Structure 1
Amino acid sequence: MKCPVLVGRDTETGLLRAATQRAVDGRGGTVVLSGEPGVGKSRAVAALQSDAEEHGLVVLSGRAVRASTPTPLRPLSEALLAWLRRNELPASTRMDPFRPSLARLAPQLWDGRAGEQATSLVLLGEALLRLAAAAGEGRGCLLVLEDLHWADPETLAVFEYVADNVADVPLLVVATTRPGESAATQQLVDALVTRGSAERLDLTVLDAAATDAMVAACLGGDVPSEVRQFVTANAEGVPLLVEELLTGMQAAGALVAAPDGTWQVAGPITAAVPETFARTVQLRLQTQEPVVQQVARAAAVLGSDFDWTPLPAALELDDASVLQALRTLVDQQIVAAREQSFAFRHALTREAVLAALLPPERAELARRLAEACARPDADVDQQTLAELFDLAGDAERSAGAWHTAAVDALGKGALATALEMVGRAGDLVEPDSETGLAVRQTLLEVHALAGDSPAALRVGESLVADLERSGAAADRLAPVRLRLARAAYAGGLWDEAADLLAPIDGVDPAGTAVLRAGVALGRLQPDQAVAEAQVALAAAGERADVACEAWEVIGRAARGRDVLQAEEAFEEAYRIAEQHGLGHWRARILQQLGSLDLVGRRPTEDRLLAARAAALEAGSLATAAIVDLQLNLLRIRYLDLERAMAAADAAIALMTRLRLPALGSAYLIRAMTHGLAGRPEEMEVDLAAGLRTAPDDPELIAGKDAHVRGPVALARGRYDEARAAFAAGMEVYRLHPGLAFSMRGLWALLETVHGDGAAARDEVRDGPQITSPHNWFALRYADAVALGREGRAEEAEQTFADATWTHPGPEPWMEVHMRGLVARAAAADGWGEPELWFRQTLDGLVEAGQTEAASACRAAMRDAGIAVPRKAAGARPVPNHLQHLGVTAREYDVLELVAQGLTNQAIAERLFLSTRTVETHVARLLQRTGSGGRGQLATYVAPPSAGGRDVTAI
């Protein structure tokens, strides 16, 4: 007996309608309805869908179903497929790049013209957002995902991406879930709610008054008091049980409708109503014909959501008999009919039916169903077949079906699901059987693609040994060894990769040579890496992917010593990737080019953002994670710490999921972000986490001091601490000169200001990476200090000026500290313009918010006998239209002078800043306003009402 109205959910319905209206207005959101089974989640969603459809919203709806290993992306596929039966994909060029991703959910969208289907889950999430934006423009979209607690890992990953990025899309996502049913789903929902990406509505049971109201609504008239009392006492406020109890009374004849429409009690209701919900369902089934009971039990073995077509063959019935039985079950509200399948009305209903079966009965039904599903003409997925054979006790056939399902999932890029499926297969067969060997080879591939090198090596080494014992041919062994070697290389296991490559040199000359090149670079042997890369290029022939990888190795090897040579190599790799349409390599090389912007101190995110977009489009999640890390470093340059932290968090989350070897570096970079933001405890936690990933990695050992503690101490004006930290890092770098360290020059400057520094300057000048702009810049400052100390004031001033004007400096805030260090030495040794340099330093430190360092600068000025300027009583307020863009008070000062037509040098002199700092402010202003140049920038000085740009439209 179905209740015709939604009872007792006014608050929840109001919140959902408000969220729907926001989606219509272009502001998306995510709502998770959480509650125990039967509490009314689906009812609330059904009411929302009906309301949304009445108001013209685009509605897509799908649900996950209970399975030992859920089908990848099932609820999303169901939602899109159902919508496409009545609609066409919006005809938009903006949608075209996302058709390959959507084709994972709806194969009819795949036209085969764009290469292989996209496998990136992030890109799939973006495709759904683009679809919602195109289909719901002007009216809004609603995406419903029911029973998220049974969803596969891939669906959860896509749901997370959509929830995090739906704010500016006219889409409301509503998911339902049970608390405590799935730890993974619970953790994801908690995380989304914590960071504001989702809102959770907890549905509780109905109170007594609402239960009474629901009983009255179900019966549509006066309700006998004993019925109301019984239902209230036994339903426990669960709406589903209210309906089931009333249905059971009616089916048993205890509750009958009189001719006048009223309801009467015709018998003892306590005898007709069971003590539990399961008993209620079982009693209702017992009143039906045997064939109906038989169909219900077989359907329950098939699953919560089932295809009816195997039932006739399994039960030796004709189609008409099975369909008539299903019609009866629908009428009895035990199952519900869908467009192309049937489903038990609730998971509790299916569980109640299964509970009535003895284990042998369940196994026999599973066997008969499995045989029916295994017929050539049956259209049943391999996962269902595997579960049926497993339940029937046929381990070999179950393993074969699990393996086929795993290969299918792997082809869709569903690595987590594939890993679980292949694991199920491996548990069912002997590892050295033919099926077992095939399963282990697929397991090796899954681990390798997931970046889990230790697991891939364990599986692969055992597999190779067994294949050798079985006398496998070389052509079967070689691909396994090459896959193992690449897995070891991806995991940073250089020695293991080299050992695995040794026996297969002649099998794939180009592939093994380029892998040897990467291994040599990993071992910090750049010359050997370049030599091997040249061998790979010579052997590559038409293999564009090998050529791209070889040029990438050459560029990486050159990056530490010759930025121009590195850029030439990366540009060649990019040309090849573009020419051959290699999306993965195009993204990867864009990332490498973007990394040169960091080395070259270019104030732009353009190439890195382009690399990230290309990586997501190509499904290269590992590359996207590296880009996030580099965006963190670029944003740290301008102390944009909030956005830097967001990039670091995204990188660490993705690297953890993919088990990438750069995870340790990611933790160190986030540690520096914490340190610069004044969170020393969080910094130390991340340092420890980074070192735990690879305790013997010299890059991490050196980096904790040279790239974290040193810069953080510098930012606080604690120069002795910074000097000690850089010195500790240098001890490691001397043992591994191939490691990149762009602050060698800064170390030499600190050594020179606080000591003699001659040895340090010589070491940097004659050592690796001297062509790094950062190192050269700081070394020239150190040379100026040394010349001034020798009394060669004119040469010192010229060297200082040359460094400032002819070389790109480090991060602006670091350059401020370097200028302050030079000012201290110049004041002590009597050369240059220490008062001006001190004032510029102090102004920069105050602007950067580095108050501790600013205090230290004031103390140094007083020690030098230089008057310390008073702190401003109050800065001029930034106009509202510029505050909207995040423009600071100092940037507003610069903006006004730009509008007057002053050059950067003239602005620097007027504001007592360095020219480099002014350049940084101008770059920030161009970025914040989206201006194309200084002339356009000047239009932002006046508010919109006075003829300036209307920034609210940006």
Structure 2
Amino acid sequence: MLVTSPVVVGRAEQLGLLDAGLAAVGAGRGRAVFLLGEAGIGKSRLAGECAYRAVTGGLAVLRGRSGPGAGAAAPFRPIAEALLSLFRVSGPPRAPELVPYRSALAGILPEWRAGGTPAEPTSLIETAEAVLRVLLAVARDRESHPRPGCLLILEDLHDADAETLAVVEYLCGNLADLPVFLLGTLRSEAGAAGTLVREAARSRCADLTELLPLSAEQVTAMAGAALAADAARPLPGADPPPLPGPVAERLARDAEGNPFVVEELLSGMITAGVLRRSPAGDWEVCGDLGIDVPRTVVHSVIRRADRLSPAGRTLLDTAAVLGRRFPLSVLQRITGLGDRDLLVHLRAGIDAQLISSSGPVADWYEFRHALTAEALLSGLLPTERAALARRAADAIEQAYPGLPGEWCPRVAGLRLTAGDPAAAARRYAEAGEAARREGAVDSAVSFLERAQELLSATERAPVVEQLLYTLMESGRLDRALALVDTLPVTGPGALDTARAAALRARLAWATVTAARYADAAAQAHHARRLFARLGDGPAPAVDVVEAHLALADTGPSGEPGAGGAGTDTGAAATEAGADRADRAERLARRAAEEAERTGLPEVACQAWQLLAMLERRHGFDRADACLERGLALATEHGLTTLQIDALLRLGSNDFMRGGSSALLERAHRAAVDHGALVLMHNAEASLAMQAVLTGRYTAARELADRCVLATARLRNTDNHQFVLLTRATLAAHRGNRREMERELAEFRRWDGDTSLQLPVLFGSRAVCALLEEDHEQALRELDQSLVWEKRHPSVFYLNGRYGLRPLLRALTGRADPAEHAAVAAHPAAALPWNRQFERFALAVHEGRAGHALRAGGAVEQAVRAGGPFPMGRRIGLRLVAQAALADGWGDPVAWAREAEEYFHEASVPAVAGACRELLRRAGATVRQRRRGASGIPAALRRIGLTPREYEVFLLLVPRLGNKDIAERLYISARTVEKHVASLLAKTGSPHRSALCDYAAEATGPAGPG
């Protein structure tokens, strides 16, 4: 018989930590806790107790376990088991927000495979985000409970695969504000898992507690509780019989504080008859404890197994070779037992407390403890284990043709145990390829590395080739670059020239897209030389890499700036940049044409995308034609991700050409349906920027907020940078400098200073300066942007170079009509956002030259172009009204009045005030637009701030001087001085600097805008 303690003894600290975690989840605060300790120390017992408390508290509980098999762990095994443990009964959550993540989870949840797995493997970080979203959906499904939330228990993480550990790491870093509690267990000697959880604890992303052995007193208490739970215990209310002293001493000495060993030793004593009940109900010793009680758990397990029939013992040994968990159908095939005999022996193992059912998983059973399987294996001779492993591998291969899922690595491990390393290597290589197809690239790398270790130098080249492609997919470029040079160039074991060339070309593409230009140049050189040996003409895969290198301004060394233009200035820099762009275009066009001719659609699409960016210099019709060609190729060859990418680029172009977001919204829906998370966030970021430009600020904020955290979690640097710039642009278009600078500071923290998106930063600052009526600062920002763009490839075309900058230069007299004509001739100047400002600039030039009719016509053209852009159109009207009033043409009163109305409603006081001043100078009536008391925050109203004082108060946030404030509000500096003195008195600020600080705090995160 087996006795167990019904209570947890000696773990008050750990139970307190678990209770705190459950309470925090109930309040919407997630956390991760890891229980560390040796086998049998009580980790699973605590996890079970936590699950019980969570269920009784109304939380959803998901529970999965890693398990050592004969081979390496299958990808995502415990995650899949945890999700299925809940979804088998209730089905997966149906929340609409999970639709984009169904494809990412299709490899884990079979129920979601009907939605279609992605054409290309989902990245590991996307899968981790999908798991997080599902857990959040599970937690929210229980909002009707007193404590909504969920508990995810992952046991035996020391045996977990690399993908599971990556998901665990991701969850640890992102649970803080979510109602999800992660509880993990692992052994003290855990390798990668131990490193992960200790690092998480050091970074305060998780709590780590180690379970120490029980003290002698705690062992006695646990043993007493276990015996008191015996079926023959006294009647309720009676004290349990005491534990005999010799038994307590023996347990304290031999169990070494391990709860599992305590229970095994107690069970052994009772089974051997040396510890039994007296007629009075007390426990008594009836024999020699030193002789009859098993000295170790191994002896205890083997002794119980030996009591079974020979066939029953063989069944257990075979199961142990399969691992802690095993399917009954496979066990039957290996042993050859009939249904009746199989069930008889299985029942005997269950009765002996050696095995149990594996939860809700049909047909699967497991050993009661990991030590049970280890004890059985230790009792087998090596030849016995090898023979059982061989039979097991044969049986699995017959039962599961193709070895799907975890069976391939299991068979590989069994073949290795059976002494057949070559067969094991083949299976590990197959497992690696299957894992790579499913997107489990970390596991794929592990399997392939095992395979190459088992092969001789002349046999391993194909596996190394496979491993190299997998390393590139996982971004481990350092490892790939080191490994590729270990391949023999000629002789036995060398790849043929075509495969070697393709491998080097793929490595060149991986390194150039990672901005590792020196490595890309070296690999492109290797590939070019190998392709030359084949004599097949141009190598399109190399051409497209070298086109990117040309744009990056690299020379033969591949180092940025080595192309010669890195130190050029002025016209020389512009000319050098144009030469690089022309070379890149020639290479990309040759790559696209040759790739199509030779049947390389993926390379052709890459080339057409690059060409589309370069063709923008010549017109957006030509750029769209390139994208349409790439889209057709991607559609024809089923390259879904490249299809969506082409749609996104076409959608962005469509907006720039006409101000419509319809095509981009279509691309966004395609990304959602496909589960392409990175592309989905790309679309959302672009839609958010378009919403900013079209004045839909609430929609822009919602879109940006939707993807800012996700892009940060996914470490999608380019897209996260763009989202931050979008948020900065949103703040700039509302005249909120504090918020804008906060977003730009975060952009820099994400390496923004090296981003090709830097012109957006200058453009945002220029707009913000305009809304502060600081035209000189706006022009300085745009000048900086122009300097930057002359040295780098042009990616963005709405940042002032072809619209706002020409207008400001025209207003200040820095530009003449000839300069304006040169700018207007560029295709980018025809884009509506730029066109409105370019036409306003033309109106200034024509009005100054005395051509009033032509100037008025240009304004009408500007207003039509600016139809989709309410803020841009009104800032243009404000600026052109000033020139029209000064030069005596047009209708400056109507333009200033329209702009004043807009900026007053938008709470941009500086521009609204400037428009009112223009109206006064024109002799027009000016409606009093001073803010009413209702616009002043309640705390400031209580201390008596007047509407005019509040306007001054807002302009103290950027620490403007009295003169600057006077110019912004069109009042005298003396009046400003009086208002500042009043503000000092009313706020109790000791000096002006303190008053500025107070203003910054009082206006809150939203700032004065």
Fold shared per TM-score above 0.5: yes
The equivalences for 1:656-675 within 5 A come to: 656=716
The equivalences for 1:433-444 within 5 A come to: 433-444=457-468
- Sort the Cα spacing of 1:575 and 1:388 in 2 relative to 1 into closer, same or farther, 3 A: closer
Aligned position for 1:595: 652
* CA–CA separation in structure 1 for the residues paired with 2:460 and 2:383: 26
SS at match of 1:176: strand
SS at match of 1:146: strand
SS at match of 2:739: coil
Name whichever of 794-803 and 205-214 sits farther off. Answer: 205-214
**1:72 positional shift:** 0.7
* CA–CA separation in structure 2 for the residues paired with 1:279 and 1:763: 94
Aligned position for 1:70: 73
> For residue 507 of structure 2, what is the amino acid of its counterpart?
L
| Match for residue 218 of structure 1 among 223, 229, 236 | 229
**1:392 positional shift:** 9.8
Render the CA deviation track for 1:570-619: whole Å, top value 9, x for unaligned: 45654565566543333222212222244246364x54454344335546
% identical aligned pairs? 23
| Alignment check: 8 A CA contact 2:277 2:283 kept | yes
> For residue 771 of structure 1, what is the amino acid of its counterpart?
A
- Sort the Cα spacing of 1:294 and 1:83 in 2 relative to 1 into closer, same or farther, 3 A: same
* CA–CA separation in structure 1 for the residues paired with 2:490 and 2:876: 62
Name whichever of 314-323 and 721-730 sits farther off. Answer: 314-323
> For residue 285 of structure 1, what is the amino acid of its counterpart?
V
| Alignment check: 8 A CA contact 1:615 1:621 kept | yes
Aligned position for 1:934: none
- Sort the Cα spacing of 1:250 and 1:375 in 2 relative to 1 into closer, same or farther, 3 A: closer
The answer to whether the aligner puts 1:484 opposite 2:507 as a matched pair is: yes
Aligned position for 2:683: 627
- Sort the Cα spacing of 1:546 and 1:346 in 2 relative to 1 into closer, same or farther, 3 A: same
| Match for residue 43 of structure 1 among 40, 48, 58 | 48
**1:650 positional shift:** 2.7
**1:266 positional shift:** 3.4
Aligned position for 1:940: none
The answer to whether the aligner puts 1:611 opposite 2:671 as a matched pair is: no
**1:225 positional shift:** 6.5
Q: Which has the larger radius of gyration?
A: 2
Aligned position for 1:413: 439
Aligned position for 2:748: 687
> For residue 336 of structure 1, what is the amino acid of its counterpart?
S
* CA–CA separation in structure 1 for the residues paired with 2:853 and 2:244: 101
- Sort the Cα spacing of 1:576 and 1:831 in 2 relative to 1 into closer, same or farther, 3 A: same
- Sort the Cα spacing of 1:456 and 1:369 in 2 relative to 1 into closer, same or farther, 3 A: same
| Alignment check: 8 A CA contact 2:154 2:184 kept | yes
* CA–CA separation in structure 2 for the residues paired with 1:705 and 1:102: 37
* CA–CA separation in structure 2 for the residues paired with 1:795 and 1:112: 59
**1:410 positional shift:** 0.8
**1:433 positional shift:** 1.3
RCO greater where, 1 or 2, for CA within 8 Å and sep 6 or more?
A: 2
| Match for residue 753 of structure 1 among 782, 791, 811 | 811
Aligned position for 1:252: 269
The answer to whether the aligner puts 1:305 opposite 2:307 as a matched pair is: no
Render the CA deviation track for 1:754-801: whole Å, top value 9, x for unaligned: 442237534422445233332222212222233344454554333222
> For residue 218 of structure 1, what is the amino acid of its counterpart?
A
SS at match of 2:356: strand
| Alignment check: 8 A CA contact 1:510 1:539 kept | no
| Alignment check: 8 A CA contact 2:35 2:211 kept | yes
The answer to whether the aligner puts 1:516 opposite 2:524 as a matched pair is: no
Aligned position for 1:337: 357
Q: TM-score, normalised by structure 2?
A: 0.63
Aligned position for 1:647: 707
> For residue 711 of structure 2, what is the amino acid of its counterpart?
A
Aligned position for 2:832: 773
SS at match of 1:343: strand
- Sort the Cα spacing of 1:250 and 1:748 in 2 relative to 1 into closer, same or farther, 3 A: same
The equivalences for 1:141-290 within 5 A come to: 146-147=154-155, 149=157, 151-152=160-161, 154-155=163-164, 176-178=183-185, 218-219=229-230, 221=234, 222=238, 224=240, 226-227=242-243, 245-246=262-263, 248-253=265-270, 258=277, 262=281, 264-266=283-285, 281-282=297-298, 284-285=300-301, 287-288=303-304
- Sort the Cα spacing of 1:115 and 1:731 in 2 relative to 1 into closer, same or farther, 3 A: closer
Aligned position for 2:864: 805
- Sort the Cα spacing of 1:12 and 1:778 in 2 relative to 1 into closer, same or farther, 3 A: same
* CA–CA separation in structure 1 for the residues paired with 2:223 and 2:920: 82
> For residue 343 of structure 1, what is the amino acid of its counterpart?
E
The equivalences for 1:461-480 within 5 A come to: 462=485, 466=489, 472-480=495-503
* CA–CA separation in structure 2 for the residues paired with 1:234 and 1:834: 98
* CA–CA separation in structure 2 for the residues paired with 1:830 and 1:726: 28
The gaps in structure 2 that reach 5 residues or longer are 401-405, 552-580, 937-1009
* CA–CA separation in structure 2 for the residues paired with 1:314 and 1:464: 41
* CA–CA separation in structure 1 for the residues paired with 2:913 and 2:320: 74
* CA–CA separation in structure 1 for the residues paired with 2:636 and 2:499: 33
| Alignment check: 8 A CA contact 1:717 1:853 kept | yes
> For residue 422 of structure 1, what is the amino acid of its counterpart?
L
- Sort the Cα spacing of 1:655 and 1:105 in 2 relative to 1 into closer, same or farther, 3 A: closer
* CA–CA separation in structure 2 for the residues paired with 1:832 and 1:36: 79
| Alignment check: 8 A CA contact 1:62 1:145 kept | yes
> For residue 502 of structure 2, what is the amino acid of its counterpart?
P
* CA–CA separation in structure 2 for the residues paired with 1:722 and 1:158: 46
> For residue 77 of structure 2, what is the amino acid of its counterpart?
R
Render the CA deviation track for 1:383-428: whole Å, top value 9, x for unaligned: 34556788999987765554333222112121222234334555x3
| Alignment check: 8 A CA contact 1:625 1:655 kept | no
SS at match of 1:434: coil
* CA–CA separation in structure 2 for the residues paired with 1:859 and 1:284: 96
| Alignment check: 8 A CA contact 1:3 1:218 kept | yes
SS at match of 1:466: coil
**1:868 positional shift:** 8.2
- Sort the Cα spacing of 1:51 and 1:257 in 2 relative to 1 into closer, same or farther, 3 A: farther
* CA–CA separation in structure 2 for the residues paired with 1:437 and 1:558: 42
SS at match of 1:729: helix
- Sort the Cα spacing of 1:248 and 1:598 in 2 relative to 1 into closer, same or farther, 3 A: farther
**1:342 positional shift:** 3.8
The equivalences for 1:90-101 within 5 A come to: none
SS at match of 1:780: helix
Q: TM-score, normalised by structure 1?
A: 0.66
* CA–CA separation in structure 1 for the residues paired with 2:911 and 2:201: 42
| Alignment check: 8 A CA contact 1:616 1:624 kept | yes
| Alignment check: 8 A CA contact 1:147 1:175 kept | no
| Alignment check: 8 A CA contact 1:517 1:533 kept | yes
* CA–CA separation in structure 2 for the residues paired with 1:798 and 1:520: 44
**1:32 positional shift:** 6.4
SS at match of 2:67: coil
> For residue 441 of structure 2, what is the amino acid of its counterpart?
L
> For residue 772 of structure 1, what is the amino acid of its counterpart?
L
> For residue 465 of structure 2, what is the amino acid of its counterpart?
Q
**1:211 positional shift:** 7.6
**1:803 positional shift:** 0.4
* CA–CA separation in structure 2 for the residues paired with 1:510 and 1:142: 60
Render the CA deviation track for 1:823-846: whole Å, top value 9, x for unaligned: 454455555555655565455556
| Alignment check: 8 A CA contact 2:459 2:493 kept | no
| Alignment check: 8 A CA contact 1:668 1:687 kept | no
* CA–CA separation in structure 1 for the residues paired with 2:666 and 2:535: 33
- Count of aligned residue pairs for this structure pair: 834
